[in-house]
Structure 1
Amino acid sequence: MAVFLAALMVASSLTAPASALPACPQIFGHGGYPTGANPWERDQVRQPNNPTAIRQYKAWGASGVEADLQLTKDGIKAVMWHNTSTWGLTGTKKNITDIWWATGDTALKGRTIDRGPFKGETVHTFREWLAAMQTSGMVGLVEIKPETRQSLLSSDASIRSRAWAEVLDPVKERYRSQEIILYSHDSALAAELRKQVSAAGLTQVLSGGPVWPEVTKWEEPPPSWTLNENAWKAALQSGAKRVATDYTPQFSAWLKGKCQ
């Protein structure tokens, strides 16, 4: 009996730490973007704005990604791209808001990424991106970029209406079957977004986003992930359910043994 009790105590001591571990947060992958002067010149186009990147982030351990919505001239097409201009793409450099999606000699459609890990991928429409996200079973956190003010806040009602339809119609088509979260860092856009989604009965797409604990300023080549370790610990200890990171594979590996 004494031997049995001793063995039971040892077994309990081995399982106790695991039972005390916090729940693992869902990881939201984000492509790091350089800071400082002329950051686009160093940008390696790591953003998960295309199906190849989505699949890569999922393989690294992400449950969702943060991606970037832009609008072409006069709100004609919602597309997934992060830079103000076509820098990082083949073809003549132009601001996204100055070109059409599929017409003209500077059209955006068909251009491909010319650098970085996803070189060769094309620019995708918002609808195409949402379809790829659903296929991969990923949660989509979509930043409506400040440049979209040209159309979404246009003084021309027809442009404004068309632009918001480009943003919200794809969401209306899919929000019941996949989780989509919309936001903007631009205060005027954020306010209008709240107004538009409320009118459309889509207020749920404004909630559920991750925390962003990292303290590094991204650069190319990337700074060491270890600079964020204390911030990651704090997020885990606080019970964060979703955490966004520029270091998806490193964060996924770091979590092992620290949560369940």
Structure 2
Amino acid sequence: MRAKAVLAATVLATVSLPPQAYAQSARLPACPLLFGHGGYPTGANPWDRDQIRQPNNPAALNDQKTWGAGGVEGDVQLTQQGTKAVMWHNTSTNGLTGVKKNITDIWWTAGSDNLRDRSIARGPYTGEQVNTLRQWLDQVRSRGLVALLEIKPETRAILSDPAYTAAAWKEISDPIKERQASQRILVYSTDSWVQGELARRHPTLLKGSEARWTDSVAWQEPPAAWSGNVGRWQEVLNQAPKSVMTNYTKEYRAWLKGKCA
């Protein structure tokens, strides 16, 4: 009897909400899906100031989830001869332990300077190791996030080389195909040739207008104040995007409160 009374009171309270509250909710636009991105400094020699904030490792994914992201943008590179697809944003191992080398010039596990045994050497994720594409996709799925893959321009030399193209594309495409039925995955590249190949190989997964860039403040280290983005954030939100991407995940999520439903 007591449970019925509580239920009745709850229903009564709900239907007794003032009409303006319903009207206000109805007027609010739908909230966009928020993709978290890791800031990379602009200007001269940005790699010297890069603090390795990209969500390419488990600790960064945890942060993005905590900050309110619904998806994350990760960076796909290829090791020597396209033998392993890995998650890393820099052309070289800059920001990792060990001797600096281009990612495309080292192996995943072979040799004393291999990529698997290195770890992040600076920034908030110091000590985290490089992940393979398969590992990363599984981690993203376990956190209930949407995966947005940027196939980095550095991969083009390997992907377009007849000696390696079949195996290299298999390294990128197979992990995606294995998971796409049970996991939302989007892909894109800033390299026109790679983008064309993605359109041919994964036509239904292209990013397209998803994850629209919404920041106006150029990223620096230390980061500039988030408040400089507000004008652009509002401009983009007014256009009712399905999803947006930002370097300021936590701050954007807080700013968004009450502006959408």
TM-score w.r.t. structure 2 length?
0.91
Counterpart in 1 of 2:252? 251
Counterpart in 2 of 1:173? 178
1: distance between equivalents of 2:28 and 2:199? 37
2:206 is the counterpart of 1:206 = yes
- Give the residue type in structure 2 aligned to 1:238: Q
1: distance between equivalents of 2:26 and 2:193? 46
Q: Confirm or deny: 8 A CA contact 1:67 1:141 kept in the other structure.
A: yes
Cα deviation for residue 45 of structure 1 reads 0.4
Counterpart in 1 of 2:240? 239
Q: Which SS does the other structure have where 1:222 is aligned?
A: coil
2:194 is the counterpart of 1:182 = no
Counterpart in 2 of 1:218? 219
Counterpart in 1 of 2:168? 163
- Give the residue type in structure 1 aligned to 2:120: I
Q: Confirm or deny: 8 A CA contact 1:68 1:143 kept in the other structure.
A: yes
Q: Which SS does the other structure have where 2:221 is aligned?
A: coil
Q: Confirm or deny: 8 A CA contact 1:27 1:63 kept in the other structure.
A: yes
Cα deviation for residue 131 of structure 1 reads 0.5
**Could you report, residue by residue, the CA deviation over 1:28-86 in whole angstroms, capped at 9, with x for unpaired residues?**
00000001111111001000001111111011000000110000011000000000110
2: distance between equivalents of 1:32 and 1:126? 20
Cα deviation for residue 236 of structure 1 reads 1.2
Cα deviation for residue 213 of structure 1 reads 2.2
TM-score w.r.t. structure 1 length?
0.91
1: distance between equivalents of 2:145 and 2:161? 32
Q: Percent identity?
A: 52
Counterpart in 2 of 1:5? none
- Give the residue type in structure 2 aligned to 1:138: L
Counterpart in 1 of 2:198? 193
2: distance between equivalents of 1:9 and 1:60? 34
1: distance between equivalents of 2:259 and 2:97? 43
Residue correspondence of structure 1 range 58-97 to structure 2 within 5 A? 58-97=65-104
- Give the residue type in structure 2 aligned to 1:66: E
Cα deviation for residue 105 of structure 1 reads 1.7
Cα deviation for residue 178 of structure 1 reads 0.2
Query: What count of residue pairs does the alignment treat as equivalent?
Result: 246
1: distance between equivalents of 2:239 and 2:198? 29
Gap runs ≥5 in structure 1: 1-7
Cα deviation for residue 10 of structure 1 reads 9.3
**Could you report, residue by residue, the CA deviation over 1:135-182 in whole angstroms, capped at 9, with x for unpaired residues?**
1111011000011012111142xx110100000000111000001111
Question: Which moves more between the two structures, 49-58 or 202-211?
Answer: 202-211
Cα deviation for residue 190 of structure 1 reads 0.9
Q: Work out which of the residue numbers 39, 47, 69 in structure 2 matches 1:32.
A: 39
Residue correspondence of structure 1 range 105-116 to structure 2 within 5 A? 105-116=112-123
Cα deviation for residue 257 of structure 1 reads 0.9
Q: Confirm or deny: 8 A CA contact 1:113 1:120 kept in the other structure.
A: yes
Q: Confirm or deny: 8 A CA contact 1:97 1:150 kept in the other structure.
A: no
